[in-house]
């Protein structure tokens, strides 16, 4: 799933507006003046890479770019302004017949390189460099060489799954191979461009990029020294089946939840649970303590208006609790209360007629599973379609095992995070995965950290503090610092600008605590300042 996702039309508008705003901000910051030409020697070293043969492919273009230069990130997408000068290397890799992976390696000038590589995960079904570019842009500005890919295919959008129709090698590229090939490609290019050897390599991905991060750790433990995995979309076949189940429930007569009902749910859940942490801030710090039942909003006999009908209560309960399998047991976790009516959450992901859950699951079962472009989502049956998807595709797409011993054995570090108000992928799913990792390998306790972010939506944004330095935290940990126990996050008036380093006003800071600890207010200081909070285990 995609870091910035809504309905297809809404998402396109959001992305276009956001990236256009970024471009305008960059122009303002530079006064609209053209960027200075790159030093000749640096430019020559860059262009000399063009045409270079690589294992499994070739460099098609190598272009020196200056700060403020426009970087195209995919068809129909506005350009992204470069935050620092770099050499843009574009390669096409063909590891097997039927595979064609577009890989980009962004190389800071030799004097600015910190000796490290950061791999960037993609989102949704991939399709272009739009999501990786957001991560790569910031990494290059900090001196990292960076790499990303299109996951081995072109799509009309990141919710377009038609490329997977009868294309097993492209599915393998998307599932696990593209990022491995990208890592190998980046290391070849780095060795050719810089005189010094690579000192460390990291990977950062969120949503499907989080799944990709865990796939790298599990299948290719030597690719990266340390990894950041946010809100991982795992295991893919079970998650997609849960998406389809959610969409199916909401299509039942009278079950739809519109904006009025979502706002009712949010208002009621916050009224019941916002103050459980002693702070009234519009954010539920620990949703696990919230005992909210949507039946509290059910319409009394004869009532209309601001209440829920019995079918709406049932569909809301389904979303909070998660779908159940044919055996009546929990099939996949549900979603936390507290941000039901927020823009970009339940409406976009779950309850709209063209919700992201409906679109992703429809495309997945249509093209990946049934190989039938005409397959209607109304035919979905959890009891039969999930076993079929798992049997056919689990080997390529799923992270089912919690065994990361090979990665940890070589000294690997894994930093994970998930927003509690994520309406794309249930936060409890990540908590469960970390629990299974530690159950399988208790010694991993010093190698893995999970940070839950109250009020954070899918990968970023939301009513709570959601902008934090995951890469800097991981780097300090990898270099020998103590395992992180606290990361300070900021809520900006424009979270996207804050994330990308453009002018934005900080409204609040709050510590994210290493799970299972949560932030506790000291009862004295400002509730908008992280210094007023400590990290403590609930109930102690």
Given the residues 45, 207, 245, 361, select the one marked as catalytic: 207
Report the C-alpha gap between 253 and 251 in whole angstroms.
6
Q: Shortest CA distance to 234 belongs to which of 198, 199, 203, 207?
A: 207
How buried is 155 (Cβ within 10 angstroms: 0-12 exposed, 13-18 middle, 19+ buried)?
Answer: buried
Report the C-alpha gap between 139 and 143 in whole angstroms.
7
Residues contacting 145, CB < 8 A, separation 6+: 105, 106, 107, 108, 113, 116, 117, 118, 186, 189, 190, 194
Cα distances from 129 to residues 14, 80, 142, 397, 532, in angstroms, run 17, 11, 20, 20, 40
CB 160 within 8 A of CB 182: no
Q: Shortest CA distance to 130 belongs to which of 3, 295, 220, 24?
A: 3
515: DSSP letter: T
Report the C-alpha gap between 145 and 200 in whole angstroms.
11
Residue 422 appears among annotated catalytic residues:
yes
CA angle 156, 179, 457 (to 5 degrees): 65
Q: Shortest CA distance to 430 belongs to which of 222, 207, 232?
A: 232
Report the C-alpha gap between 496 and 3 in whole angstroms.
11
Given the residues 277, 422, 475, 495, select the one marked as catalytic: 422
How buried is 349 (Cβ within 10 angstroms: 0-12 exposed, 13-18 middle, 19+ buried)?
Answer: buried
Residue 204 appears among annotated catalytic residues:
no
Given the residues 458, 475, 495, 532, select the one marked as catalytic: 458
Active site residues: 207, 422, 458
């Amino acid at each position: 799933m995609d870091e910035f996702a809504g309905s297809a039309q809404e998402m396109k508008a959001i992305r276009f507006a956001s990236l256009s705003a970024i471009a305008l901000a960059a122009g303002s910051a530079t006064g609209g003046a053209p960027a200075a030409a790159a030093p000749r020697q640096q430019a020559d070293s860059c262009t000399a890479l063009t045409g270079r043969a690589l294992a499994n492919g070739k460099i098609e273009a190598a272009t020196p770019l200056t700060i403020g230069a426009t970087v195209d990130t995919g068809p129909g997408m506005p350009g992204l302004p470069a935050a620092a000068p770099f050499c843009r290397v574009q390669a096409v890799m063909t590891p097997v017949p039927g595979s064609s992976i577009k890989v980009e390696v962004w190389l800071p000038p030799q004097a600015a390189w910190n000796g490290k590589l950061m791999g960037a995960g993609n989102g949704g079904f991939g399709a272009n460099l739009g999501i990786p570019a957001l991560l790569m842009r910031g990494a290059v500005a900090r001196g990292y060489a960076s790499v990303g890919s299109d996951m081995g295919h072109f799509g009309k959008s990141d919710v377009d799954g038609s490329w997977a129709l009868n294309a097993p090698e492209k599915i393998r590229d998307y599932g696990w191979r593209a990022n491995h090939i990208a890592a190998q490609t980046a290391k070849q290019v780095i060795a050719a461009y810089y005189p010094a050897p690579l000192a460390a390599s990291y990977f950062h991905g969120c949503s499907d990029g989080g799944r990709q991060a865990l796939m790298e750790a599990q299948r290719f433990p030597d690719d990266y020294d340390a990894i950041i995995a946010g809100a991982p979309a795992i295991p893919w076949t079970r998650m997609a089946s849960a998406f389809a189940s959610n969409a199916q429930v909401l299509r039942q007569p009278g079950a739809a939840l519109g904006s009025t009902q979502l706002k009712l749910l949010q208002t009621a859940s916050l009224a019941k649970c916002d103050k459980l942490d002693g702070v009234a801030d519009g954010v539920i710090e620990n949703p696990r303590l919230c005992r909210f039942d949507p039946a509290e909003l059910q319409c009394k006999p004869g009532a209309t208006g601001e209440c829920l009908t019995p079918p709406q209560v049932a569909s809301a309960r389904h979303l909070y609790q998660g779908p159940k399998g044919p055996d009546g047991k929990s099939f996949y976790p549900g979603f936390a209360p507290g941000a039901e009516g927020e823009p970009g959450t339940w409406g976009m992901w779950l309850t709209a007629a063209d919700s992201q859950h409906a679109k992703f699951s429809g495309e997945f079962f249509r093209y990946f599973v049934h190989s039938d472009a005409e397959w209607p989502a109304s035919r979905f049956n959890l009891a039969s379609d999930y076993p079929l998807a798992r049997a056919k595709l689990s080997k390529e797409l799923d992270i089912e095992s919690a065994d990361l011993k090979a990665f940890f054995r070589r000294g690997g570090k894994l930093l994970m995070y998930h927003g509690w108000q994520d309406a794309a992928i249930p936060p409890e799913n990540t908590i469960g995965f970390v629990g299974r990792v530690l159950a399988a390998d208790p010694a991993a306790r010093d190698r893995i950290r999970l940070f839950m972010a109250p009020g954070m939506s899918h990968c970023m944004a939301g009513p709570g503090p959601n902008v934090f330095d995951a890469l800097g935290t991981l780097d300090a940990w990898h270099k020998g610092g103590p395992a992180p126990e606290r990361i300070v996050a900021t809520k900006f008036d424009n979270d996207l600008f804050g994330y990308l380093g453009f002018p934005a006003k900080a409204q609040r800071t709050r510590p994210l605590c290493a799970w299972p600890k949560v932030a506790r207010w000291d009862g004295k200081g400002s509730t908008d300042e992280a210094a007023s909070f400590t990290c403590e285990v609930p109930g102690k």
